Amino acid sequence: MSHIVHERIARGDARIVEAPVAAPVRHQVEIDRNFGLPTPLYAATIGCYLAFLAIVGTAFANPVLLIPMVIFALFIVAAFGVPAVWTRLAGNTSQAQTLGEFEIRGVMTHTGRLAPRDATVQVLILPVLLVCWGIAVAVIAAIVA
């Protein structure tokens, strides 16, 4: 390809022009590092996971379980803490929804808008079931012992 261009330049058929001035980069997508849900839903999720650890830790209290429980708690804090820091990075212009905005608008998903009640159920179903399971296991262990 360059061989053909050089021949045209040598013959005088081609002209050399200056490169165009580079236009500023335009981002068509707004940076949104937010997850679309209000902060209390995340707090409730963290609370349920830590409550499960507390229930199981007290039901099966053993000094050997102390280190694994602390590690699990650190993983839970890190799993929610890193995204919380990520949403506060420079360039993120979006803010988390307040509970009032969430009640009015709900949340947009890949398949369409989700009502606030449905979104809350989907977010909290696993953590709440996990707490119920921890209580059930603790009660069974107390009855058997």
Write the pLDDT tens digit of every residue in 28-55: 666 666 777 888 999 999 999 999 999 9
Distance CA 145, CA 118 (A): 40
Total domains, the chain: 1
What pLDDT does residue 93 have? 73
Q: For residue 61, is it within any domain?
A: yes
10 lies in some domain: no
Burial class (CB in 10 A: 0-12, 13-18, 19+), 120: buried
In this predicted structure, what is the pLDDT of residue 12? 75
Single-letter amino acid code for the residue at 81: G
Q: Is 128's pLDDT higher than 80?
A: yes
Question: Would you say residue 97 lies in a domain?
Answer: yes
Average pLDDT, integer, range 91-96: 75
User: Given a cut of 60, is residue 74 above it in pLDDT?
Assistant: yes
Residue 3: which region, alpha, beta or left (left: phi > 0; alpha: psi -120 to 50)?
alpha
Give domain status of residue 16, yes or no: no
Instruction: Assign 27 a pLDDT band (cuts: 50, 70, 90).
Output: low
Q: How far, CA to CA in Å, does 85 sit from each of 28, 78, 98?
A: 24, 10, 18
Output the pLDDT for position 23: 75
Its domain, for residue 87, covers 36-144
Average pLDDT of the residues in 59-85: 92
> Is 0.75 topped by the overall pTM?
no
Whether residue 106 lies inside any domain: the answer is yes
**Within a domain: residue 18?**
no
Q: Is 125 among the domain residues?
A: yes
The structure tokens listed for 100 are: 């009032």
Q: What is the mean pLDDT of residues 67-89?
A: 91
Identify which has the larger pLDDT, 93 or 81.
81
Q: CA-CA distance, 105 to 111, in Å (whole number)?
A: 15
Query: What's residue 30's pLDDT?
Result: 64
Q: Is 31 part of any domain?
A: no
The alpha-carbon radius of gyration of the chain (Å, integer) is: 28
